[in-house]
A and B are shown apart, each in its own frame.
Chain A
Amino acid sequence: MKKRTFILLALLLPLLVCCDNGGDCKINNVSYYRAKFYTIDSGTGLEDKTQFAEPINVSLVVNGKDSTVVNHLTDATDLALPMSYTNLCDTVLIEFGDIATDTLFVHHTNIPYFISMDCGVGMYHEITEVNSTGQFIDSVAVIHSYINFDSNENIKIYITE
């Protein structure tokens, strides 16, 4: 009897320490979409991640005015950008050093999401379409359209070689 009770307690005690609080809370409940830069080898047709030695500047067009969110980012391979809670299309200006400036038009839906009483409401999104002005960006592909607090890569930006 005693032996079995001890065995049972021994089995249950580890459960005490692995009890979680279910927390997915973020500081400001803003979800970001992640974009990575790629080039395509014209010979083989294979894509390859690319890194810019030239500094990158990124601005969001908010109420008709440019608002810089990334300033002189060097050796950039990817970007994490916020989305509007209410707009259905965000305008993003990407300045590739002195080479060129491209504009991305990111079309999306907005999904306010009740997480819990502890974490409140998060804002998730779903990307429906992305277009660019094609100055330096060749094309854009959406690979994970749903944006929440996960760190998935959402879009691939292909650069002209």
Chain B
Amino acid sequence: MRISRYILLSSMLLMLSVSATAQQSTEKSDTVTESLLDFRGVSLSTDVFGYAYSILEDYTSGEAALELNLGNKYYPVVEVGYGSCNFTDETFGIHYKSAAPYYRVGLNYNFSNKRGKAPKKSYIYALGRFAFTRADYDVKTPPVTDPVWGGESSLDLKGVNGFYSWVELGVGVNVKIWKHLRMGWSIRYKARVNQVTGANSRMWYIPGFGNSRHTTFGGTYSIIYEIPFK
């Protein structure tokens, strides 16, 4: 809760500072056009890869992102998504169910544009994100037999609270399609930062991350609508 408040506050402060920069640039017109942090616009996007992923895996997710354009070079991003999983394993007969939102904040860095030159319509960028989710989950397992002493034991857990945070590093491409419509993809390497485990379990499906591992890869394929400011 404290982290989400901090991120929300940071995002609001960022928006206010950018808005202030934009107002200043209007007043001083040409003198700040070369500034690296000059506010150039806002983009809204949705990731379609998460929906398509449900064909391959037993979980699905949808997400939207708000991105600011600072000097056609730096792009602070906030991504909010929702992931769900309802899966029964054939080998062990374990059932796992979870659905929860996830949040990412970070920055895209445009490699293609250079200062003093007209921005390119398509560009390659590097990305960095900090992400987290807090999810409740259910786990039900069939009985396991004690091989030495005999007897059986099983689990039927409901509403276990888990927390998982991670960082993402990657590269992406952003391409202009038509007028203000763009599309893009990104490949991301994800590494766990922290997780809170339960007394009898830990999260298996992490919304926005994937299966519980220390590291994994992910991707996005986004449809983007750009709202230019100048």
Contact = CB atoms under 8 A, between A and B. Distances in A.
A86 to B, nearest CB: 4
Contacts of A12: 169-171, 189
A20 B214 contact: yes
Interface residues on A, range: 35 or more
Interface stretch (B26-34, B99-107, B145-153): B145-153
B48 interface: no
B111 A1 contact: yes
Contacts of B171: 8, 12
A60 B149 contact: yes
Counting chain A CB atoms within 10 Å of each CB, the highest count among B89, B92, B124, B170 belongs to B92
A67 B148 CA distance: 9
A123 B144 contact: yes
Interface in A118-132: 120-121, 123
Interface string B150-177: 1111110100000000000111000000
A113 B169 contact: no
Interface residues on B, range: 35 or more
Given A22-B214, A85-B149, A121-B144, A112 B202 contact: no
A90 B151 CA distance: 14
A135 interface: no
A8 B126 contact: yes
B112 A116 contact: no
Contacts of A8: 111, 126, 171
B169 A15 contact: yes
Contact of A84 (B111, B124, B149, B189): B149
Nearest to B191: A15
Contacts of A20: 213-215
B189 A19 contact: yes
Contact of B94 (A5, A21, A60, A120): A120
Contacts of A28: 147
Interface string A98-142: 000000000000111111110011010000000000000000000
Contacts of B139: 114
Counting chain B CB atoms within 10 Å of each CB, the highest count among A16, A20, A69 belongs to A20
B204 interface: yes
A20 B150 CA distance: 35
Interface string B87-98: 101011010100
B204 A112 contact: no
A53 interface: no
A29 B211 CA distance: 20
Interface in A1-44: 1, 4-5, 8, 12, 15-16, 18-22, 28-30
Contacts of B51: none
B57 to A, nearest CB: 12
B217 A5 contact: no
13 contacts: A19-B215, A19-B217, A67-B148, A85-B144, A85-B151, A85-B153, A111-B199, A113-B201, A116-B211, A117-B87, A117-B204, A117-B211, A120-B91
